[in-house]
Amino acid sequence: MNLLESIRVALEGIMASKLRSLLTTLGIVIGIAAVIAVVAIGQGGRAVLMSEMEKIGTNIFAIYVDWRTNKQVTGREFDLSDVAVIKDKVPDITRLSPVNQVSGEARGTKDKKSTQILGVSSDYAYIRKFNMKEGRFFSEEDDTGKRRVAVLDEELGGQIFGRVDPLGSKVTLGSTPFLVVGVVAKGESALGFEENPKVYIPIQVWQVMFNTQVQELEGSAVSKEKVDEAMGQAVKVLERRHREPGKYASVSMEQEMKTANKITGIMTLVIGAIAGISLFVGGIGVMNIMLVSVTERTREIGIRMALGARRRDILVQFLIEAVMLCLLGGVIGMALGAGGAYLIAKLAKWPPLVSWYTALLAFAFSAAIGVVFGILPANKAARLNPIEALRRE
Amino acid sequence: MIRVENLGKTYMAGAHPVVALAGVNLEVKPGEFVAIMGPSGSGKSTLMNLLGCLDTPTSGCYFLDGTKVSGMNDTELARTRNRKIGFVFQTFNLLPRMSAMRNVEQPMIYAGVSPRERVRRAAQALERVGLAQRLHHKPSELSGGQVQRVSIARALVNNPSVILADEPTGNLDTRAGEEIMAIFQELNRSGVTIVLVTHEPDIALHTSRIVHFRDGRLVGDEPVADPLDARQLVSVEPAANQSGSSDQGGEAGLP
Ligand SMILES: Nc1ncnc2c1ncn2[C@@H]1O[C@H](COP(=O)(O)OP(=O)(O)O)[C@@H](O)[C@H]1O
Ligand SMILES: [Mg+2]
């Protein structure tokens, strides 16, 4: 008896009780749908996260004081001269800026707003790839000249100036007036990150207004391949200059992306595994019904044996029936899961990511479930004694 | 063709053994039509199961077409059932959800016959038992006599060495029984070997030889001097024989 005949006989068995067959596969349908949807959503989310991070820049890094060390934080871990020295000693670092932050109030012609006041150098605009909506970012001369100039977020500008063009207007930070020289265009974020409104002023002005510390450094390297090495060299320079080994910590976008990749991967795996448990339960459901089916069809098995079916033929028939049931469930589940993932992706504006690879895997997996959970009932069928089977009502 | 020597079968029913068959010596030659008779529990079905390779004896030897069957493994027994044996059961044992055609195809599926050839031979076999007009009917759409004719078609479709029929008329009324015997006689005339179990003397008298069993032993073996011809009894009612075009076949025909 060849495979094609076995499939036909198995199909006849399935078609003989359509509703029951469909209900039997329900567990598999739900399991496969859940796995497909979870994996697709996970992969879609990860792709969005990665592209988001890539947009920010894959070659940027930050150096800050490691808060996990027990060493006393003095506030003198960085100073402005570090920036020039590091740039000089580490040629792979193209841009480097001190970054100081404090929250404060910004007042425009229309309204006032609580905001983050960032003290940075002119390099910061390059590191963060700022896109100017109007005006310019402040220059090195603005910084060294300690000019009271400020650059606003597009959002903040709208909030405190209303319909008035902020460019050339005065923004008051605390009680100090600043000339607005530029507005940074709002970046488009598919993830919809809600960032605090920000205002950027030259670091040297920031230091006069608040304190003389430098909180951390941000920079960019020539390439994402070089960033981790360059960042390490910068840390060494700092450790030597300040005689504070082990006090600095650093992170690059490259590292962050790897971590994010890993975390989303693990999350997908964990949720996928939980969804996989429902597949397991579905498999047990198939096994259960197949066992009942073998008992109900004992006489059929006896007849087939009398007509010349070998034990192997019976085994294969029931095994194929289980596999086909699971494949049927797999196909329906795949359609449902892909549909669900597509819908969610559409709502979240993510790319729908049901790969051929995932579909193929789900297909193979449901077949495997059929084999694993079909073997017991099939074996039970094949072991029947033909005479007793024929006598059964 | 069939030769059994000192054949015995003992069942273990709980603690004590039940001797169902003991010391049976029997030979059936090609072309014979043998009836096996005996009271209930005398071992007739046990013998048929052994001859049909559904069971293995606990003692003795069984040769079919010169090949020793006793001692074969499950796979060889299945092959032998498929190629050399055709079963006709008292309870018909057709697959209920399948058409007559598909039922008759089954033994050929296990024999590896191609689909096209299967269809051809199944139709031919059904025609031979007078069911040319009922190819696509399911068992539930046929009368008892017609159902048994389908199972005869199924039994002969692989050209077996012998057809084994255990009380084939047991669930049929006299008239349908006569129809079945007419078909068996027709097949036998064309050279098919048949072994048939019955407890009805009228049925047994249609065969050419009667073997008697009692308490698991063969106690009598005699030829039938003047076998009855089922055709005469059946043809009393016109158009009810093997033409197959009649709906009156089966138990519905007689009061
Ligand atoms: N599977 C079995 N287990 C135990 N005893 C059995 C079994 N099958 C048949 N027998 C016994 O064997 C004897 C012969 O049975 P059987 O061949 O069916 O008789 P018959 O068909 O002539 O009526 C009976 O006594 C019956 O009870
Ligand atoms: Mg019996």
pLDDT of residue B15: 85
Region A48-73: what's the mean pLDDT?
84
Average pLDDT over residues A283-304: 94
Share of chain A above pLDDT 70, in %: 97
Residue among A51, A193, A227, A57 nearest A125 (CA): A57
Determine the distance in angstroms separating the CA of B105 from the nearest CA of chain A, rounded to an integer. Answer: 10
Give the residue whose CA is nearest to atom 17 of ligand 1: B43
Q: Please provide the DSSP assignment of A153-199 as one string.
A: EHHHHHHHHTTS--TT-EEEETTEEEEEEEEEPPPP-TT---PPPEE
Identify the CATH assignment for B30-57+84-253 out of 2.160.10.10, 3.90.1640.10, 3.20.20.140, 3.40.50.300: 3.40.50.300
Please indicate whether residue A51 or residue A220 has the higher confidence score (pLDDT): A220
Mean pLDDT of chain A: 89
DSSP state of A352: P
pTM of the complete model: 0.77
For residue B111, the Cα-to-chain-centroid distance in whole angstroms is: 19
- Give me the residue from B52, B78, B93 closest to A303, CB to CB: B93
Name the more confident of B150 and A16: B150
Q: Which residues of chain B have pLDDT under 70?
A: 233-255
pLDDT in the model for residue B239: 41
The number of the ligand 1 atom at minimal distance from the alpha carbon of B42 is: 22
| pLDDT reported for residue A256 | 86
CB contacts of B95 in chain A (<8 Å) are 300, 303
Q: What pLDDT was estimated at residue A193?
A: 53
Q: What is the ipTM of this complex?
A: 0.91
Instruction: State whether B93 and A2 contact (CB < 8 Å).
Output: no
Instruction: Please tell me which of the candidates A1, A9, A16 has its beta carbon nearest to residue B112.
Output: A1
The 10s digit of each residue's pLDDT in A354-384 is 778 888 888 898 999 999 999 999 999 999 9
**pLDDT category, A1, cuts 50, 70, 90?**
low
Total length of chain B: 255
What is the model's pLDDT at position A3? 85
Residue A352: per-residue pLDDT: 67
Q: Do B109 and A9 touch (CB under 8 A)?
A: yes
B214 Cβ partners below 8 Å, 6+ apart?
A: B38, B39, B42
Give the pLDDT score at B241: 44
Of A293, A303, A307, which to mutate for an interface test with B (greatest number of B Cβ within 10 Å)? A307
A111 pLDDT band, cuts 50/70/90, is very high
Contact list, A5 vs chain B (CB under 8 Å)? 109
Write down the pLDDT at residue B21: 96
Residue B41 CA to ligand 2 center (angstroms) comes to: 7
**What's the CA-to-centroid distance between B35 and ligand 2, angstroms?**
13
Q: Do A312 and B110 touch (CB under 8 A)?
A: no
Give residue B215's pLDDT: 95
Residue B235's pLDDT is: 58
Size of the A and B interface in Cβ pairs below 8 Å: 63
Q: Ligand 2 centre from B130 Cα, in Å?
A: 28
Q: For position B25, what pLDDT does the model report?
A: 97
Rg (CA), chain B: 18
Contacts of B87 in chain A (CB under 8 A): 306-307
Per-residue pLDDT at B252:
39
Give pLDDT tens digits for A235-271.
999 999 998 888 899 999 888 888 888 888 898 888 8
Q: Residue B86: its chain A contacts at CB < 8 A? A: none
| Nearest CA distance, B200 vs chain A (angstrom) | 22
- Mean per-residue pLDDT, A296-313: 96
> DSSP letter string over chain B?
-EEEEEEEEEEEETTEEEEEEEEEEEEE-TT-EEEEE--TTSSHHHHHHHHTTSS--SEEEEEETTEE-TT--HHHHHHHHHHHEEEEETT----TTS-HHHHHHHHHHHHT--HHHHHHHHHHHHHHTT-GGGTT--GGGS-HHHHHHHHHHHHHTT--SEEEEESTTTTS-HHHHHHHHHHHHHHHHTT-EEEEE-S-HHHHTTSSEEEEEETTEEEEEEE-SS---HHHHHTTSTT-STT---S--SGGG--
Q: Which atom of ligand 1 is nearest to the CA of B12?
A: 4
Domain-by-domain residue ranges, chain B? 30-57+84-253
Question: Under an 8 A CB cutoff, do B81 and A307 touch?
Answer: yes
**Tokens describing residue A28:** 């598999």
Domain boundaries, chain A: 3-53+259-391, 72-246
